[in-house]
Amino acid sequence: MEVKQRPFLVRAFNFFRIGSSLDSKRLMRAAQQKTGLDDFGNDPLIDPLDKLLASINSEAALHPFGQFITRQRLINVLANRLRVVDLLKIHPEILDIEIEQPIIITGLQRTGTTRLHRLLSNHPTVRSLRSWEALNPVPFEGDTHNKKRIQFAKTAETALKYMSPAFFAIHPVEHEAPEEDILLNDMSFISTVPEATMHVPTYAKWVEKESHLFPYSYLKKLLQILSWQHPKERWVLKSPQYLEFLEEAHQVFPDAKYIHTYRDPLKVIPSFCSMVFQSRRIFSDKVDARELSQHWLRKNSYMMNDAMKFWQEHASDHVLHVSYYDMMNDLHGEMKKIYDFVGLSYSPEIADALTQHNAINRQNKYGVHQYQAQDFGLSHQEIDDHFSLYRQTFSIPYE
């Protein structure tokens, strides 16, 4: 697996700067200074934040630039927490907004969830989360037309392209495109985002055991705030994390319709390991390919088995299982089936819009993603052993 040299500015930053530990009190004060607000409200904050920071400081081995990025991201998340409290004091009626029958796309990573999410987002009656909203869901004071929020996301997109073009080729984060709502979930400080971007095993183990009722309740609150800004009939959401915590997600969104995508795990697991490797490389010089592959092989296996068990026992009529290969071979046939399942109209105009979207957002738009299972110390037999039930349940062919 080829590891390219870091861009000049990142190397220069790392040469001249020395990192320091991240501290919750300092981060919170920085967020308060940034916003001019001081009330973080009563939602859980200090304990999950301290657990995350302890793991980052002792385990993540961030280089100075990676630590700088992490510090700025955490300050921005805390600033959003302050803005949420402040907005709801002024407009408490926001919490009365219903999030009815959200459409939730989930599946193992690299199974076509992003493509399906963006296709579904073309429907005129649905509402998807845009990248610029995911980074800053609450309006900035005086930013009537959201120019500052959009520019913030555009700058982040440009920076990501510069820091890691390889990652951008795998998962492009375009500032106006639909994005995973796990970025909103992450604002609870209880999510799987950190373990995808850093080596934080202690925090990751804690997240696995922690109830996700608060993170999904907080996600709902943020969706209410976004719906208040731009009302539409329904949300279309997307994140692999739903597989791991369906029980809690179902409590918060009891009438949700799930679309589950599936694909050969011999392609899925190495591809996602490559994505995590490139993501962690942005932050650290010490990325253990074998360690991350074992972590995500185990994690994806158990969360997929848990999801299948949940759907079988509780909500089989709330989920539609969609083959990656059927989506590739018969786009309009599969989209018509999906639209019927979730109760959306499928007109010739919508079909034309999907065709145009598919042509513009072609596969490998930002480069070809190259990876091999051997790069991560994985054998085909090892992957097959972990996902035998998954392959059998959905009759998944070998690619």
Go through the domains of the chain in sequence order and give each one's CATH number: 102-394 (3.40.50.300)
List per-residue pLDDT tens for the chain, 399 residues long: 656 777 877 778 777 777 778 999 999 999 999 999 999 999 999 999 999 999 999 999 999 999 999 999 999 999 999 999 999 999 999 999 999 999 999 999 999 999 899 899 888 889 999 999 999 999 998 888 899 999 998 898 888 877 777 776 676 778 888 899 999 999 999 999 999 999 999 999 999 999 999 999 999 999 999 999 988 779 999 999 999 999 999 999 999 999 999 999 999 999 999 999 989 998 999 999 999 999 999 999 999 999 999 998 876 788 999 999 999 999 899 999 999 999 998 888 888 888 887 777 666 555 556 778 888 999 999 999 999 999 999 999 998
Phi, psi of 203 (to 5 degrees): -65, -40
Q: How far from 185 is each of 50, 229, 302, CA to CA, in Å?
A: 17, 19, 21
**Which amino acid, 118?**
R
Answer for the pair 190, 210: CB distance below 8 angstroms, yes or no.
Answer: yes
Answer for the pair 157, 173: CB distance below 8 angstroms, yes or no.
Answer: yes
Beta bridge partners of 178: 130
Put simply, whether the predicted model's pTM sits higher than 0.85 gets the answer yes
All residues at 6 or more sequence positions from 43 whose CB lies less than 8 Å from its CB, including other chains: 81, 188, 214, 218
Tokens of 273: 């390991």
C-alpha span between 234 and 215 (Å, rounded): 20
Residue with tokens 């805390």: 78
C-alpha span between 399 and 326 (Å, rounded): 13
